[in-house]
Amino acid sequence: MSLAWLVILPFAGSLCAAFVPSHARNAAAWLAGTVAVACIALGIQFYPQIAEGEVVRATFQWAPAVGLDFKLRMDGFAWLFAMLVTVMGALVILYARYYMAAQDPVPRFFSFFLAFMGAMLGVVLSGNLIQLVVFWELTSLTSFMLIAYWYHRSDARRGARMALTVTATGGLCLLAGMLILGRIVGSYDLDVVLASGNLVRAHSWYLPALILIALGALTKSAQFPFHFWLPHAMAAPTPVSVYLHSATMVKAGVFLLVRLWPVLAGTEAWFWIIGSAGLFSLVLGAYAAIFQQDMKGVLAYSTISHLGLITLLLGLNSTLALIAAIFHIMNHATFKASLFMAAGMVDHETGTRDLSRLSGLYRAMPITATLAVVGAASMAGVPLFNGFLSKEMFFAETTFVSGNVITRIGLPTMAVIWGTFSVAYSLRFILQVFFGPAAKDLPKKPHEPPRWMLLPSGLLVTACLVVGMFPATIEPYLDIASRSVLGPGIPFHSLAVWHGLNLPLIMSLLAMAGGVALYRALGKYQQGTAVVPLINRFDGQSIFQFLLKKLESFAGTLTRCLSTERLQVQLLLLICAVFASALIPFSNGGLPAGNQPVAPVHPAFALMWLVGGACAIGAATQAKYHRLAALSLSGGAGLATCMTFAWFSSPDLALTQLIVEVVTLVLLLLGLRWLPPRYKSVDDKVVPLQTRLRARTRRLRDMALALVAGASLSALSYAVLTRQAGEGISNFFLENSLPLAGGSNVVNVILVDFRGFDTLGEITVLGIVALTVFALLRRFRPAPESMGLPVQQQVQDAQIPGWTPDPRALLPEGPMMLPGVLVQLLLPISGMVAVFFLLRGHNEPGGGFVGGLIVATAVILQYLVGGTAWAESRTRIFPQYWISAGLLCAAGAGLSAWLVSRPFLSAMAWHARLPVIGEVHLSTVLLFDLGVFLLVIGATVLILVALAHQSRRGHRKPATAHEEPEAAVPAATPRVAEITADLAQPHPISHAWAPAPAPKEG
């Protein structure tokens, strides 16, 4: 169980740190430090078991259906890595506390930092391939956040994006590779996978799996040719570079290679893929490091080079090389982290990391200088430092490689060349920064950093020295780790400073002499230039940018080829697709013969549809130039539909259709006010002949399509109506409506009881639509042509000159006074009718939908008759409250079932005998229908009133005081104008139709 804590603790800490106030630097640091120390303690507690060679496991059910468990697994190697992650984490947290400036939002940093630590521990302890990939991608995401921590800097954003693109793409490859690997083995369990190396290597899918997994590992470890993201990631705060880019994240790639070494290594393909990537990174990284001007740049390229060393060692297919690789993972983490810390301290105290500006710092910062010298000596592989030991092992391995002459001679030569380069850049790093004449024009006056900031670096440097001089101290840990990867029979190896005068030592001496010579020879050339000779043109970054640009333009082309932005084409395709799908059932055998008797045509029904059909066709022909006529005609068709519902025994539908018809008509009429008219004569003059011809052909095509669509849907309907209905679920509802739900109106019972969840969803959609309409209208800019008063209103105003109606009058003045009396009388009556329909809905036609629409109609009548100004001066309806009350009511009715441990939306009824009133039957279904009722009122009224209110905004000319600046804002920045207008209006939602800023002209 406690193994899980090792992963849970950092994530929990991350969550806590996220809630620490952003200026509480110490609190966040204490929190993070405590978590890291607790993790270290947890890790140490496992040591006795691990030292015995045991594997600690913890398994939790994850997705048992597909055979996946969440499994944590700690063997010696995982333990060593987990200790590396936690100990380095603790040191870096201490360092970061002093590195980060007080004005930085430090808790955010620690929150991401701990999340990264958790993800890294997850990778290390994963006992399952899929789970490993999940944590792997988490490290990519958290490292993105950490690199972009100073997101106001464009280099940080760019570097973070590049790192994420490269490593996350690699992560996807890794996922594919792991899936193949899991498929080969037949299990994703790491224990099973590790035990089936021979099976995997012999499998025909071995190579694809190897390539994909290698892509994942090499991108993560910044190996050639994916190394270019690492130098750009140096835009991160230095503690991030210390932790991610020296000790942990970049090591995840080599960690994976070691982890899967028993499964994947030992083949030619492994040697060539992993070995060559390592060799290229080794030499090119060291070569490029010589010419960097940024201290962190030197270290970044050096990291690429050292990771290349580890990768190359792993690629050599030799068990001794594997031990050397594990050893170097540890050594590199210690000296590189201390060097990054030193670079950070120099940056922190002098304000620059530029090698050409820094000089002679040892006078001002003697302790920092000493620490850096030890780190750099270890990096260069000087004897008595830990870097020397693993370098010797590497040199020894290169001389043992069998194969043709090129590898036998070439590999040791390359190793010596690498050694030369690393000595050269380490020398330059130290001599340039800390020795020579004191630098003059530094941004800050240098002095020693705080003691606590020096401590982590000091501890690391001590470790370098102890391991370098007394290698026996590290021996048992290295032994445990190697044994857990290689099994019990690991080859003999000895860590010692002195192996006698052998070939590796001669190679070391050669490299050192060469490095000093190279440093002297380059001398002046390196000053003031960051150009890397020879390979400068092969810049990974520019290739990356080029590829990204190509990818973008390719995606754009593909989108243009595969889709269209033209709505007409889309709709045409949609209709054709519907046709095609309707034809599929006919393809096998067609319809059975009609078996239903056909009822004789009733003349009244035929006449009604003669009118209805004429109305529909009329609406189709008139919709372009005569919108009002089209609207009325479409209403005619709607009424015929409504009558049809009533005719064929569907009173509920008829009622609803009728009221919706009214409400839709009012809605569209309100909208027509803002749609400038089209004039046929103008159109004919403007449009050139050719376009008209094209339009004519298109009309013919659409006409044909419409005819075919109409005819086929007619035929289909007729075919269905003349055939027996299949056995459906309807009988269930008819039979059970009364006994189970206690309602005799089956349609209503289906809506509010049997299928109540659907209705809940539906009213939610309705509420959302209403709010969307309201939101869209708040920033509504009508067409300029429709800004003025409509002609009819102008005529009316001209008839009574100088008459302005008083919005506060008891009744609307002028010709609408009598209708005004009527609609005011109508309001309470309609309310009563609505409640009547609501209450009887369960047993008779009616229900919440109908009732709500009736109230909404009565409200909008007030607007129609009295005018918007008059209606708004006396109503305060707040439809948004009705919407929320309705939703709460309906959801509450559903939730109340939980009180008696029944499923959501189960109906419950109470029978009670009250004094005076007598027997009362109450049901949550009524509450639900009440919710529907309230919501329909709110949504409909909100939509209609928001639209009606526009007429008041339109008349206001933009002349009031606070709108002056808005008008002055140039047209190019409409966003700013909108935001300021938003700010100027304090309470947007509570006054649905309060005066909003007048629409802008143009």
Partner 1 sequence: MEITYALAIGVLTGSGVWLLLRPRTFQVIMGLSLLSYAVNLFIFGMGRIMEGGAPIIDTLKQIDPSLYDDPVPQALVLTAIVIGFATTALFLVVLLASRGLTGTDHVDGDESEP
Residues numbered 545-584 forming contacts with partner 1, rule: CB under 8 A: 565-568, 571-572, 575
By CB under 8 A, tell whether 793 contacts partner 1. Answer: no
C-alpha 809/C-alpha 121 separation (Å) is 75
Token pair 């996978």 in the structure block, residue: 193
What part of residues 947-986 is at the interface with partner 1 (CB under 8 A)?
947
Per CB under 8 A, the segment of 32-40, 807-815, 911-919, 936-944 that binds partner 1 is 936-944
By CB under 8 A, tell whether 738 contacts partner 1. Answer: yes
CB 892 within 8 A of CB 925: no
CB 40 within 8 A of CB 97: no
**Cβ 775 to partner 1, closest distance in Å?**
9
Which CB sits closer to partner 1, 269 or 575?
Answer: 575
Closest C-alpha among 157, 288, 150 to residue 232: 157
C-alpha 944/C-alpha 662 separation (Å) is 12
Which CB sits closer to partner 1, 438 or 604?
Answer: 604
**Cβ 991 to partner 1, closest distance in Å?**
19
Which CB sits closer to partner 1, 267 or 722?
Answer: 722
**Cβ 661 to partner 1, closest distance in Å?**
9
Q: Which residues are 72's β-sheet partners?
A: 58, 126
By CB under 8 A, tell whether 599 contacts partner 1. Answer: yes
Q: Give, as one character, the DSSP assignment of residue 234.
A: G
The kind and range of the H/E element at 92 are helix 76-99
Q: How many residues bind partner 1 (CB under 8 A)?
A: 112
The tokens for 538 are 């092969």
C-alpha 662/C-alpha 760 separation (Å) is 24
Question: Between vectors from CA 874 to CA 868 and to CA 880, what angle results, nearest 5°?
Answer: 80
The kind and range of the H/E element at 56 are strand 56-63
Question: Between vectors from CA 208 to CA 538 and to CA 133, what angle results, nearest 5°?
Answer: 85
By CB under 8 A, tell whether 703 contacts partner 1. Answer: yes
Which CB sits closer to partner 1, 409 or 706?
Answer: 706
Instruction: By CB under 8 A, name the one of 267, 722, 796, 985 that touches partner 1.
Output: 722
For residue 428, give the amino acid letter: R
Closest C-alpha among 759, 737, 980, 942 to residue 855: 942
Q: Which residues are 57's β-sheet partners?
A: 73
Token pair 């190019």 in the structure block, residue: 972
By CB under 8 A, tell whether 809 contacts partner 1. Answer: no
**Cβ 960 to partner 1, closest distance in Å?**
21
What part of residues 842-871 is at the interface with partner 1 (CB under 8 A)?
843-845, 849
Per CB under 8 A, the segment of 67-75, 216-224, 778-786, 792-800 that binds partner 1 is 778-786
C-alpha 420/C-alpha 206 separation (Å) is 37
- 555: helix, coil or strand? helix
Instruction: By CB under 8 A, name the one of 217, 250, 274, 746 that touches partner 1.
Output: 746
CB 887 within 8 A of CB 853: no
By CB under 8 A, tell whether 731 contacts partner 1. Answer: yes
By CB under 8 A, tell whether 63 contacts partner 1. Answer: no
Instruction: By CB under 8 A, name the one of 29, 90, 160, 750 that touches partner 1.
Output: 750
CB 827 within 8 A of CB 862: yes
By CB under 8 A, tell whether 728 contacts partner 1. Answer: yes
**Cβ 21 to partner 1, closest distance in Å?**
42
Instruction: By CB under 8 A, name the one of 770, 860, 864, 937 that touches partner 1.
Output: 770
The tokens for 54 are 């045991």
By CB under 8 A, tell whether 904 contacts partner 1. Answer: no
**Cβ 994 to partner 1, closest distance in Å?**
19
Q: Give, as one character, the DSSP assignment of residue 189.
A: B
By CB under 8 A, tell whether 692 contacts partner 1. Answer: no
Which CB sits closer to partner 1, 528 or 676?
Answer: 676
**Cβ 690 to partner 1, closest distance in Å?**
11
By CB under 8 A, tell whether 764 contacts partner 1. Answer: no
Q: Give, as one character, the DSSP assignment of residue 71.
A: E
CB 36 within 8 A of CB 90: yes
Instruction: By CB under 8 A, name the one of 730, 793, 873, 990 that touches partner 1.
Output: 730
Which CB sits closer to partner 1, 375 or 845?
Answer: 845
C-alpha 426/C-alpha 411 separation (Å) is 22
CB 493 within 8 A of CB 471: no
C-alpha 846/C-alpha 692 separation (Å) is 51
**Cβ 228 to partner 1, closest distance in Å?**
42
Which CB sits closer to partner 1, 812 or 841?
Answer: 841
Which CB sits closer to partner 1, 818 or 967?
Answer: 967
Closest C-alpha among 51, 128, 124, 56 to residue 87: 124
Which CB sits closer to partner 1, 84 or 936?
Answer: 936
Per CB under 8 A, the segment of 231-239, 487-495, 709-717, 899-907 that binds partner 1 is 709-717
**Cβ 665 to partner 1, closest distance in Å?**
10
User: Is the bond leading into 988 cis (omega within 30 degrees of zero)?
Assistant: no
What part of residues 616-655 is at the interface with partner 1 (CB under 8 A)?
616-617, 619-620, 623-624, 627, 630-631, 634, 637-638, 640-641, 644-645, 647-653
C-alpha 10/C-alpha 122 separation (Å) is 10
Which CB sits closer to partner 1, 234 or 667?
Answer: 667
What part of residues 332-391 is at the interface with partner 1 (CB under 8 A)?
none
By CB under 8 A, tell whether 675 contacts partner 1. Answer: yes
C-alpha 416/C-alpha 508 separation (Å) is 7
The tokens for 462 are 């001590």
Instruction: By CB under 8 A, name the one of 437, 488, 489, 600 that touches partner 1.
Output: 600
**Cβ 732 to partner 1, closest distance in Å?**
9
**Cβ 721 to partner 1, closest distance in Å?**
4
The tokens for 269 are 């393909």
Instruction: By CB under 8 A, name the one of 469, 551, 558, 783 that touches partner 1.
Output: 783
CB 456 within 8 A of CB 87: no
By CB under 8 A, tell whether 735 contacts partner 1. Answer: yes
- Tell me the Ramachandran region of residue 381: left when phi exceeds 0, alpha when psi lies from -120 to 50, beta otherwise: left
What distance lies between CA 278 and its chain's CA centroid?
34
**Cβ 579 to partner 1, closest distance in Å?**
10
Per CB under 8 A, the segment of 66-74, 120-128, 424-432, 601-609 that binds partner 1 is 601-609
- Contacts of 608-612 with CB under 8 Å at 24 or more apart are 608/640, 608/643, 608/644, 609/640, 609/644, 611/636, 611/640, 612/636, 612/637, 612/639, 612/640, 612/641
**Cβ 795 to partner 1, closest distance in Å?**
24
By CB under 8 A, tell whether 772 contacts partner 1. Answer: yes
